[in-house]
Structure 1
Amino acid sequence: MTKTGLFFISDYRGVTCEPGRDPAYWILKELDRADRFKVYSTANRVINSSCFGNIDFLMLDYKGDIQIQKLGYNYAIYNAYKKVKDNVEIIHHCEKFQVGKGYNLIPLLSNISGKAFMIGPVQLPHNVFEDDFLVNSTGLKRSIKKSVYMNRNNLGSMFKIMFKKTIENADVVIVPDSEVRKELSRYIDKNKIELINYGVDLSVYGEYLYTATENNYDITFAGSAIKRKGIEYLLEAIPLIKDQFPEIKLHLLTNGYRIKEYKKLSKDLGITENVVFHGRLEKNKYIELLSNCRLLCLPTLSEGYSWTVLDALCLGVPVVTTTECRCNDLFENGDIGLRVKPADPDALADAILKLFNDFELCKKFSENGLKKREEFGNEIIIPKYMKLYEEYI
């Protein structure tokens, strides 16, 4: 049987056989079992590929700090494609791709007529604060000049042109929610847009489910200690809640160079006994802590998509976040939590107090989340990608 060649641009950059959070790992696992495709996948490092018997990993050998917008990284992807282009009928850009910022050099530098070009999942971008560029993935500050950050912002118009030219070449664009679909319909025919939710490995949550009781006033925040996450506004909301609920406890699962600033703010606000700085936790410990809290609070100033909110949904944990948390479909009919305007401690406090004072509402949000969680299981999501591939065999 003749196999269909598929060039897969993967965000599973370090192949270790350990599941990644983004879809690429799970799609590759399914492709590995499919005998209809010959798969070539990009990888920046291959540490252990023993669980992928039928995937040819193409090493990018990119030495710099991986940022998907960097021309050098994209050129490494293009060079990998050139090695196998004559054997490829389908190209799937499954690397990170944001509206107005993402691009791919393959359709810009070569003729892909006769090949199917897929992109996705595509996210909405978050606003780029200085922290987002000056802080690395571990939360520590980079040794880099502010002028570099400013110049990077000035490249925005070039990225928009490259994004538009890339997206216009796509046969299918995959989006995780209707808000992204609406935004993309400004650029391409809406019939080319396919909505496929982000998938999760439901086994990760194990037996953990929402276990908070009516007298539980614990709150979890999980995310980087950067300005964009809005932690200071959550801290400023705690004194407004403490008068009514002195036993309130805020669990901050975060690290980074702003930690000292947030610890000082906690002291200045007189809430040091109400705030626990955990640092980053292993996944299972994070899941356990989150499931035992009254609610998750994500006071973000700008968010493209929140995996943390999806975690809360799958555990049945009520959510308080802002209108800048761009995952509207998770909050369809407002049924898993409350959203307030950003940068507003009073609004955060009011929403948290509402859930502290109404345990029945918490239980309703919890039940709604648990009803939805099956929709996001990889068992449901990944076959939808396979169906798209099969349309081009």
Structure 2
Amino acid sequence: MASESINKKKGKEEEPKKLNIALLTIGFHGDFKEATKITILTLAQELQRRGHHPIVISDKREETPEFEILHGIPVYRKAISKLFQPFFIFHHFFSQPLALKDVEKKENMQFDVIHNFSSAPLLALRGALARSLSGNKHCALVHTIKSRSKYQLGSTFLARFLNVADAITVHSICIKDELQRYGAKTEKLHHIPSHIDLQQFVPMDKQHHRQHHPELGYTADDLVVFYYGPFTKRKGTEYLLQAIPLVWEKNPKIKFLLSCKKQQLSEEYEQLIAELGICKGEQAKNLYILFSPDHIPPYLNMTDLVVMPYPELIATESNPSCIIESMACKVPVITSNLPELKEIFASIPRLHDALFFEPKNPQAIAAKILLLADDASLRKKLADAGYRLAQGYDLRKVVSEYEGLYQRIMAKIKS
């Protein structure tokens, strides 16, 4: 009995500590269509489900409150003095650390982990400032780089600044190698991929969803090509639009379903669509632009092929969620021949010829669409291989990796 009591006590002592975790980011507001916000939110929700206490700390904008609960997660925001707001770097450097100090006071607690998200290595200093202002000067500090920054001050050339963190996580080996080359310490770099919720993105019956959306007019025999995401240059939407008439020259029956937020269909893209003539005449019925669907999986599952025409991966996750989500739904994906994207599919080199097209090349995009449209067997091979790869990006698996990293850093600091 004494031995049993000791074992129970020992087991209880070894139970991992439930952590207070600050997630530092920018632009975290109520619109959760953007991939980076979705991944931070779902990370917070899964950490919360495991008994931890995550709090998102962001910058304050005019339309956002200083505090709110978003999808079950506490979100604090702080505006800095209007004197500094016009200066981008001041706003993004000071607002979250100052908010973190306030949060600890309001919540009567101290953070065990500060997890800082920014594509700019220079903003690792934001995390360091937050730790210096925290009541717990020995909390773990993690910096995650989700993509390449579009700003000069975000260059990987400034990678040495990342060494102020206890750990640096990246979604791509390409970026990891580049950061290491520019001075980030090897022992601090960790490759942890982006994540999606594999319980939400699952294969579904194609015909069922086509029948439930009669407004689209799709029949069982239609071949539907899908793109979803913002209409912007960083996503390469213009190259896909330019490819559509080239596809129709060879196969006028192919349908295109494009999805974005209404406000993202700018005058520039409306003009391009008008110039291409793809919304006029008989062919107009084969192009449908869907605005802000509440739930993407049903639309994904009614399509035959997803096209993601990235010109480069700047200000876009190096493991783009759209690609992983499509694969998880067993929908074949074709995309640009870029190092980070090739890394996702590195284990299936035999399918690279079908998968990739030259970036910024509408003719190459059209040729790949036509190739896959004519070959159901090849589409199935891509879909099956992609589905297997998507399992490695599961939310629960990735959060376990972060959880383990937090615990290892804390143990090292304690020792």
Q: Same fold (TM over 0.5)?
A: yes
The answer to whether structure 1 residue 256 and structure 2 residue 265 are counterparts is yes
Query: Who is 1:188 aligned against?
Result: 184
Counterpart-to-counterpart distance in 2, 1:246 and 1:198: 37
Counterpart-to-counterpart distance in 2, 1:207 and 1:281: 21
Larger radius of gyration: 2
The answer to whether structure 1 residue 60 and structure 2 residue 85 are counterparts is no
Q: Specify which of 337, 359, 377 is matched with residue 394 of structure 2.
A: 377
Q: Specify which of 239, 245, 248 is matched with residue 242 of structure 1.
A: 248
Classify 1:179/1:160 alpha carbon distance in 2 versus 1 (closer, same or farther; 3 Å). Answer: closer
The answer to whether structure 1 residue 361 and structure 2 residue 340 are counterparts is no
Name the SS for the 1:320 alignment partner: strand
Q: Specify which of 277, 280, 293 is matched with residue 282 of structure 1.
A: 293
Counterpart-to-counterpart distance in 2, 1:222 and 1:329: 22
The answer to whether structure 1 residue 340 and structure 2 residue 334 are counterparts is no
Deviation at 1:331, TM superposition (A): 2.1
Over residues 316-342 of structure 1, what are the superposed CA-to-partner deviations in whole Å (9 max), with x where a residue is unaligned? Answer: 111122124843332223558511112
Counterpart-to-counterpart distance in 1, 2:127 and 2:158: 12
Q: Specify which of 125, 128, 135 is matched with residue 148 of structure 2.
A: 125
Q: TM-score, normalization: structure 1?
A: 0.75
The answer to whether structure 1 residue 79 and structure 2 residue 98 are counterparts is yes
Over residues 90-128 of structure 1, what are the superposed CA-to-partner deviations in whole Å (9 max), with x where a residue is unaligned? Answer: 3211x3x215564442426875974432111x12326x5
Counterpart-to-counterpart distance in 2, 1:34 and 1:68: 39
Counterpart-to-counterpart distance in 2, 1:384 and 1:33: 15
Deviation at 1:73, TM superposition (A): 3.3
Residue segments in structure 1 that go unaligned for 5+ positions in a row: 129-152
Deviation at 1:89, TM superposition (A): 4.5
Counterpart-to-counterpart distance in 2, 1:68 and 1:380: 39
Deviation at 1:236, TM superposition (A): 2.8
Q: After the TM superposition, which residues 103-182 of structure 1 pair with which residues of structure 2 at under 5 Å, given as runs? A: 103-107=124-128, 114-120=138-144, 122-125=145-148, 128=150, 156=152, 158-160=153-155, 163-164=158-159, 166-182=161-177
Q: Which moved more, 1:269-278 or 1:319-328?
A: 269-278
Deviation at 1:261, TM superposition (A): 1.3
Q: Specify which of 57, 66, 69 is matched with residue 48 of structure 1.
A: 69
The answer to whether structure 1 residue 387 and structure 2 residue 404 are counterparts is yes
How many percent of aligned residue pairs carry the same amino acid?
18
Deviation at 1:361, TM superposition (A): 0.7
Q: Which moved more, 1:228-237 or 1:42-51?
A: 42-51
Instruction: In structure 1, give the amino acid aligned to 2:326.
Output: A
Counterpart-to-counterpart distance in 2, 1:268 and 1:13: 36
Instruction: In structure 2, give the amino acid aligned to 1:385.
Output: Y
Classify 1:42/1:217 alpha carbon distance in 2 versus 1 (closer, same or farther; 3 Å). Answer: same
Classify 1:40/1:123 alpha carbon distance in 2 versus 1 (closer, same or farther; 3 Å). Answer: closer
Name the SS for the 1:371 alignment partner: helix
- Count of residues in correspondence between the two structures: 356
Q: Specify which of 292, 312, 316 is matched with residue 302 of structure 1.
A: 312
Please state which structure has a larger fraction of its residues in helix: 2
8 Å CA contact 2:204–2:329 kept in 1: the answer is yes
Query: Who is 1:147 aligned against?
Result: none
Instruction: In structure 2, give the amino acid aligned to 1:282.
Output: P
Q: TM-score, normalization: structure 2?
A: 0.72
Name the SS for the 1:300 alignment partner: coil
Classify 1:179/1:280 alpha carbon distance in 2 versus 1 (closer, same or farther; 3 Å). Answer: farther
Counterpart-to-counterpart distance in 2, 1:275 and 1:168: 52
Q: Which moved more, 1:359-368 or 1:268-277?
A: 268-277
Query: Who is 1:8 aligned against?
Result: 23
Deviation at 1:48, TM superposition (A): 2.9
Instruction: In structure 1, give the amino acid aligned to 2:141.
Output: F
Residue segments in structure 2 that go unaligned for 5+ positions in a row: 1-12, 211-218
Deviation at 1:252, TM superposition (A): 1.8
Query: Who is 1:273 aligned against?
Result: 284
Instruction: In structure 1, give the amino acid aligned to 2:201.
Output: Y
Deviation at 1:346, TM superposition (A): 1.7
8 Å CA contact 2:239–2:361 kept in 1: the answer is yes
Name the SS for the 2:359 alignment partner: coil
Query: Who is 2:114 aligned against?
Result: 91
- Two-structure CA RMSD over aligned residues (Å): 3.9
